[in-house]
Amino acid sequence: MGEFISLIFLLGVVGAVVGAATNYMAIKMLFRPYKPIYFKKWKLPLTPGLIPKRREDLAIQLGKTVTEYLLTPETIKKKFLSKEIRENVLTFAQNKVTQEIFTNEKTINDWIRLAGFTHLPQTVEGKVDELIHVQFHKVKNTLSTKAIRELLPNDLEPVLDQKIDEAVVQILQKGEDYFLSPEGTMTIKNMLDDFLSTKGSFGGMIQMFLGDSTSLVDKVQRELIKFLKAPGTAALLNRIFTTEWEKIKNRPAMDFMNDVNFDTIETSIQSYAKNALALEARLDKTINDYWPQGKDWATNDLLPKMMDKTFIAAEGKIEDVLKRLNLAEVVREQVDSFPIAKLEELVLGIINKELKLITWLGGIIGGLVGIIQALIVFLTN
């Protein structure tokens, strides 16, 4: 009886050790050895381990699994483009727009500084001064090199030419009205007196015969009116004005602006432009100051429409994007390049308890097999 118990114990222990060792080796051989082992030119069997040996097949299969079952267009639409996600994204965007953009705590100047423009008002004013200076230089150059005729618009020159006739008529009419007025009469009288006084004894003799020059005023006045009303007078003035006007049109505009101080005008315009622009004061206001309805429009109109269009476009492009990403190839490359030691550590770290149980289970089964063998040996002997 003692021999039977010793046999059962011995075979049970041996079976348990063999079973546990076999399972332990089988688990280890899933990963180890990492590389094939060669004895001279002969490769040892079962090297490398199962997973390193079938690593490429595993990577391909994982890539197919990810693209065919995990990251499919339907899955992404369901998980990332659902109505709930849309509402959450819209709410988040509305809150951000309200808190960050349409806020009374940040002026336009703050936004500009945030974008990296620290001296924008001074820069813009400098550009305004430079622009006005350049334009003034061009104007001066144009006035110096081009005749007035070239500067006049094509439709304006005929209009100005026609105004000469009107001007002549107006001048003659004003002249007639003046010489018929008491002031004009007095002017004629004074002119006659001055004329006679400059003629010495001859003028004195005429004044002696005629007495006061008043008697001549009426005659001179009538002759002047006749002269002003004569057709030849209008034609003469028209011809003179037309000739002078043609000369003026052929001269550079700068000939008539020699006394103009362009530097002072330029400085004044620059000052006026900067004062009217008042950029520093304008930028010291918030977006709400310039656009009070902006927040409501952005949150209730713009953002909902943008979100709808964005999600609709995303739904239509998901399949194409996934094809372009070629996730199966990406997963294959990543798995193929993943260190086996790290993969072993990761897997064993997750199922370490289960693997220990498998090892113990192998020992238990091996022990039971040993005991059964001991029984068989005892009974057959």
3-state SS, 49-91, equals: CHHHHCHHHHHHHHHHHHHHHHCCHHHHHHHHCCHHHHHHHHH
Q: How confident is the model at residue 158 (pLDDT cuts 50, 70, 90)?
A: confident
* Burial 44-65, CB ≥16 within 10 A → b, else e: eeebbbebbeebeebbbebbee
Kindly report the pTM of this predicted structure.
0.50
Region of 46 (left: φ > 0; alpha: ψ -120 to 50; beta: rest) is left
Kindly report the length of the chain: 381
The string of pLDDT tens digits covering residues 27-68 is: 777 777 767 777 777 777 767 776 777 777 777 887 788 777
List the one residue out of 213, 182, 180, 209 whose CA is nearest residue 196: 213
Q: Tokens 């006035």, residue?
A: 143
The string of pLDDT tens digits covering residues 120-134 is: 888 888 898 999 899
Q: Omega before 252 cis (within 30°)?
A: no
The string of pLDDT tens digits covering residues 162-189 is: 888 888 888 888 888 888 888 888 887 7
Residue type, 372: I
pLDDT of residue 209: 47
The string of pLDDT tens digits covering residues 265-298 is: 888 998 998 888 888 888 888 888 888 888 889 8
List the one residue out of 46, 58, 27 whose CA is nearest residue 347: 27
Q: What are the residue ranges spanned by the domains of the chain? A: 147-251
Res. 223: pLDDT tops 80: yes
List the one residue out of 92, 96, 86, 73 whose CA is nearest residue 310: 86
The string of pLDDT tens digits covering residues 189-219 is: 777 666 666 655 554 555 544 545 566 677 7
Q: Tokens 């199966």, residue?
A: 328
Task: Find residue 147's DSSP bridge partners.
Answer: 252
- Sequential DSSP letters for 260-285: --HHHHHHHHHHHHHHHH-HHHHHTS
CA atoms within 13 A on the CB side of 183: 5
pLDDT of residue 198: 63
